[in-house]
C-alpha cells in the first residue's frame, strides 16, 4: 500500500459514497472524543506532572540530576515498548478488554512509583508503569480509526495529538502549583488517583468499537512489519517521531533550565508551561479549521516545520544573549508550530494503516516515544542540564532532521505516486 491510501481517504467522494462516509464522519461524538482524550492522557500526564519536583527528588533520594532524568527516560523507553505490545493485542481481542487489563496494572505500578524508597526503585517502577499506561494512547488512536476516516479522522486525530501535546505542557503547570504545598510523593499519588478514574471509565463508560468480525483471527506481530513496509507511513511516522522528540528535548530539560539556570520559581516554571499549552491549543483549533476547509495535511506540515527550525535555533541564540529569560518567547512559538506539524503527521500516517490501525498506532507510538527516550538525557551530556544553549541546539538539530525527513520522503512519494502529486 502506498501513499495513495491516505490521499484516497481525504479526497472528495462520489454521490454513492456520501451517505456512508457521512455516517463514518459523524460516528465520533464530542462525548466520545472527551472520553478518548481522557484515556489517552495517562502517559503524557505521567511524563510531566512531576517535572517541577525534580530538584526535590534529587535532594530527597540523594542522587544526581542525570539519575532523576533517567526516571523520565525509563518511562519513555517503557511506553515505546508497550505500544507495539498493546496495539496488536487490541486488533485481536478488541479495544476494551486490553484497556481494562492494562489500566489495572497501571494503578498498582503508580502506587509503587509514589512509594519508591530509592532512585533505582523509582526508575524501575516508572518503566513498568509506562509499559501498561502505553495502552491508553495506542488504543485511543485505534478507536478513532475504527470510527472515522477522511477529514473527520484528521480532526479527531488532531484532537488526540493536541491532548498528547498539551498535557505534557499543562502538567508541569499543575505540577508547579502542587509542588508548592505537596511533597513529590503526593504529586505522584495524585496521578495514581487519576489512573483509578481512567480504569473506572473503561469499565463503566467505554463501549467496544471493534466487533469480532473485524478482529484479527490470531495474535500476530507481523502486522507491525507490514505497516512499516508502506513508504508513506514510514515518511509521516518518522517525521512525527522526530518532531515530537524536539518537544521532548524541551520538556526533559526545561525544569532544570528554567529553575536552576534562569532562576524561575516552581510556580513561575509552571506558568511558562501554561503559555506553551495555550499556544498548542491555538494550533489545535487552527488545525481543526484547516481540516474542515479540506486543506491537505501535507501542506500544513510543510509550512510548519521550517518555523519549528527557526524557533529552536532562536532558543539557543537567545539563551546565549544577555537576556536568556526571553527564551520563553521562541519556546511558546515553537509549541504552536510543533502542534501544527504533529497533528497532521499523525492523520497522514494513520491513513496508511487502514486494515490494521492497532498495529499502525503501535508503531507510531514507538516512534513518538522511542525518539523521545533517546533525546531526554542528551541536553545534560551536550552542555549541562541547566543550559538553555545546549537545549536549544539539541532542539534545533532535531527540528532540522524532521524537516529533512519530511522533504526527502515527500520527494520520493511524489516521484512514485500520482495521487500524492495531485493532492500534495
Can you spell out the DSSP letters for 230-283?
A: -HHHHHHHHHHHHHHHHHHHHHHHHHHIIIIIS---HHHHHHHHHHHHHHHHHH
**pLDDT surpassing 50 at residue 8:** no
* Domain extent listing, the chain: 4-12+31-209+220-423
pLDDT of 421 > 70? The answer is no
Give dist(CA 416, CA 257) in Å, integer: 45
The rounded distance, in Å, linking the Cα atoms of 25 and 369 is: 29
| Confidence grade of residue 24 (pLDDT, cut at 50, 70, 90) | very low
Which pLDDT does position 110 carry in this prediction?
94
* Residue 386: pLDDT band with limits 50, 70, 90: confident
332-385 residue pLDDT tens:
999 999 988 988 898 888 888 877 777 888 888 888 878 877 886 675 566 556
Predicted confidence band of residue 227 (pLDDT cuts 50, 70, 90): confident
Q: What is the pLDDT of residue 3?
A: 38
Residue 26 has pLDDT above 70, yes or no: no
Tell me how far apart the alpha carbons of residues 403 and 297 are, in angstroms, rounded to a whole number.
15
User: Could you tell me the CA-to-CA distances from 316 to 69, 106, 169, 310, 320 in Å, in that order?
Assistant: 21, 38, 20, 10, 6
Tell me which range, 139-143, 155-159, 329-333, is most confidently predicted by mean pLDDT. Answer: 329-333
**Residue 395 CB partners (closer than 8 Å, separation 6+):** 246, 249, 250, 312, 315, 316, 334
CATH topology of domain 4-12+31-209+220-423: Growth Hormone; Chain: A; (1.20.1250)
Distance CA 7, CA 5 (A): 6
pLDDT score recorded for residue 287: 79
Q: Are 204 and 389 in contact (CB under 8 A)?
A: no
Q: HSE, CB side, 13 Å, CA atoms: give it for residue 146.
A: 25
Average pLDDT, the chain: 81
Identify which of 290, 406, 349, 362 has the alpha carbon closest to the alpha carbon of residue 6.
Answer: 349
Q: What is the pLDDT of residue 416?
A: 74
pTM above 0.85, yes or no: no
Residues 6+ apart with CB under 8 A from 357: 91, 141, 142, 145, 146, 350
CA 184 to CA 191: how far, in whole Å?
11
pLDDT at residue 149 is higher than 70:
no
User: Is residue 280 over pLDDT 80?
Assistant: yes
Q: What is the DSSP letter of 327?
A: G
Burial class of residue 418, CB neighbours in 10 A (0-12, 13-18, 19+): exposed
In this predicted model, what pLDDT tens digit does every residue of 128-148 receive, in sequence order?
999 999 898 889 888 887 876
Amino acid at each position: 500500500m502506498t501513499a495513495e491510501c491516505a490521499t484516497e481517504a481525504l479526497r472528495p467522494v462520489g454521490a454513492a459514497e456520501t451517505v456512508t462516509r457521512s455516517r463514518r464522519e459523524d460516528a465520533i461524538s464530542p462525548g466520545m472524543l472527551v472520553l478518548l482524550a481522557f484515556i489517552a492522557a495517562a502517559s503524557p500526564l505521567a511524563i510531566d506532572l512531576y517535572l517541577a519536583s525534580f530538584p526535590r527528588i534529587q535532594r530527597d533520594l540523594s542522587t544526581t540530576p542525570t539519575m532523576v532524568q533517567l526516571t523520565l527516560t525509563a518511562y519513555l523507553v517503557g511506553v515505546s515498548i508497550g505500544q507495539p505490545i498493546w496495539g496488536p493485542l487490541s486488533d485481536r481481542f478488541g479495544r476494551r478488554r486490553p484497556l481494562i487489563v492494562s489500566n489495572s496494572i497501571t494503578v498498582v505500578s503508580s502506587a509503587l512509583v509514589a512509594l519508591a524508597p530509592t532512585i533505582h526503585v523509582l526508575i524501575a517502577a516508572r518503566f513498568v508503569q509506562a509499559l501498561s499506561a502505553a495502552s491508553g494512547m495506542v488504543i485511543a488512536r485505534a478507536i478513532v480509526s475504527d470510527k472515522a476516516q477522511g477529514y473527520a479522522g484528521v480532526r479527531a486525530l488532531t484532537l488526540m495529538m493536541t491532548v498528547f501535546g498539551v498535557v505534557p505542557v499543562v502538567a508541569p503547570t499543575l505540577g508547579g502549583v502542587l509542588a508548592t504545598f505537596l511533597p513529590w510523593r503526593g504529586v505522584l499519588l495524585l496521578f495514581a488517583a487519576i489512573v483509578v478514574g481512567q480504569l473506572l471509565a473503561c469499565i463503566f463508560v467505554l463501549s467496544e468499537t471493534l466487533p469480532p468480525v473485524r478482529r484479527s483471527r490470531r495474535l500476530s506481530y507481523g502486522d507491525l512489519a507490514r505497516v512499516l513496509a508502506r513508504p508513506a507511513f514510514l515518511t509521516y511516522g518518522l517525521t512525527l517521531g522526530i518532531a515530537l522528540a524536539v518537544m521532548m528535548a524541551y520538556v526533559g530539560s526545561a525544569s532544570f533550565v528554567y529553575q536552576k539556570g534562569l532562576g524561575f520559581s516552581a510556580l513561575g516554571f509552571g506558568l511558562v508551561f501554561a503559555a506553551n499549552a495555550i499556544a498548542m491549543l491555538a494550533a489545535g483549533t487552527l488545525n481543526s479549521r484547516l481540516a474542515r476547509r479540506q486543506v491537505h495535511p501535507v501542506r500544513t506540515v510543510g509550512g510548519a516545520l521550517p518555523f519549528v527550525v527557526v524557533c529552536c535555533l532562536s532558543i539557543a541564540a537567545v539563551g546565549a544573549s544577555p537576556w536568556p529569560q526571553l527564551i520563553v518567547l521562541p519556546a511558546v512559538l515553537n509549541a504552536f508550530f510543533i502542534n501544527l506539524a504533529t497533528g497532521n503527521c499523525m492523520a497522514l500516517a494513520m491513513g496508511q494503516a487502514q486494515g490494521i490501525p492497532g498495529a499502525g498506532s503501535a508503531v507510531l507510538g514507538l516512534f513518538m516515544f522511542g525518539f523521545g527516550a533517546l533525546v531526554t538525557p542528551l541536553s545534560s551530556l551536550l552542555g549541562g542540564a541547566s543550559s538553555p544553549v545546549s537545549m536549544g541546539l539539541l532542539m534545533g538539530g532535531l527540528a532540522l532532521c524532521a524537516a529533512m525527513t519530511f522533504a526527502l520522503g515527500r520527494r520520493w512519494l511524489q516521484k512514485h505516486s500520482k495521487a500524492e502529486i495531485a493532492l500534495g
